[in-house]
């Protein structure tokens, strides 16, 4: 696994109690960062999170789709750690597997609120501090679905396309400072988000990956670790594929 020096850095990882976010939080802490884990479910974090030394982590219950909740999480994190250098937006939901014609309107809205509004609100919260300190790294977790579109997943595909566009826009806005904003577009990983999908849909997504397997959270984490590091001092506004050969652009 790759390793970078994160000493003195403070990272916020949304959705960090489980899955991709937990893997990122654990490796950043192991690399010297103090990590604030923002998640709706902080009662049952993965073992790798509870294994992080308490001085290096805090768990903050937050609904990323709610501006007041994000604001409270920001205030608590800055009180505990003094600043935020890195933001990894990993919180997200898949929504149901359904044709567009039959897609529940309330779930369409929920998917956009968590995946798009949540990314926007967390970026909006941390960017002013990054600008004031002239340093920041933001990594948004999008999906190959945002580039190619998955059938019977219109809400999820649209939300991840929006995350990619938001990343490119914000990256250009902040390019004059030492703030990098990028996103990853992974293929499916075996995390709890699969619990929201049918077996048929999971099999379909696996069939689309030329590698013939799902990406691992450690593989995604390895890419994010560079993207969020000081070494990534030039690349911004970009989407990095982890599609196992699926992505065509």
d(CA 190, CA 218) in angstroms, rounded, equals: 11
d(CA 63, CA 118) in angstroms, rounded, equals: 8
Q: In this structure, how many other beta carbons lie within 10 angstroms of the beta carbon of residue 192? A: 12
10 closest CA partner among 38, 35, 32, 39: 35
Contact of 209 with 187, CB cutoff 8 Å: yes
Active-site residue identified among 6, 156, 204, 249 = 156
Q: 85 — alpha (psi -120 to 50), left (phi > 0) or beta?
A: alpha
| 156 catalytically annotated | yes
d(CA 154, CA 236) in angstroms, rounded, equals: 27
Residues noted as catalytic = 156
């Amino acid at each position: 696994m790759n390793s970078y020096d994160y000493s003195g850095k403070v990272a916020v990882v949304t959705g960090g109690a489980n899955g991709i976010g937990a893997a990122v939080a654990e490796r950043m802490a192991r690399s010297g960062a103090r990590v604030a884990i923002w998640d709706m479910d902080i009662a049952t974090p993965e073992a790798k999170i509870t294994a992080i030394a308490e001085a290096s982590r805090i768990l903050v219950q937050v609904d990323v789709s709610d501006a007041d909740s994000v604001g409270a999480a920001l205030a608590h994190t800055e009180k505990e750690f003094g600043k935020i250098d890195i933001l990894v937006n990993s919180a997200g939901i898949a929504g149901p597997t359904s044709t567009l014609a039959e897609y529940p309107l309330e779930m369409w809205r929920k998917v956009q609120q968590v995946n798009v509004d949540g990314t926007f609100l967390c970026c909006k919260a941390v960017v002013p501090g990054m600008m004031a300190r002239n340093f920041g790294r933001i990594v948004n977790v999008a999906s190959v679905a945002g580039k190619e579109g998955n059938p019977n997943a219109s809400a999820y595909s649209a939300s991840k396309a929006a995350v990619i566009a938001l990343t490119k826009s914000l990256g250009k806005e902040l390019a004059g400072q030492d703030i990098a904003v990028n996103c990853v577009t992974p293929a499916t990983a075996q995390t709890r988000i699969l619990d929201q999908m049918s077996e048929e849909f999971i099999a379909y997504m696996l069939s689309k990956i030329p590698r013939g397997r799902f990406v691992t959270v450690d593989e995604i984490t390895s890419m994010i670790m560079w993207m969020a590091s000081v070494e990534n001092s030039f690349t911004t506004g970009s989407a990095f594929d982890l599609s196992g050969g699926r992505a065509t652009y």
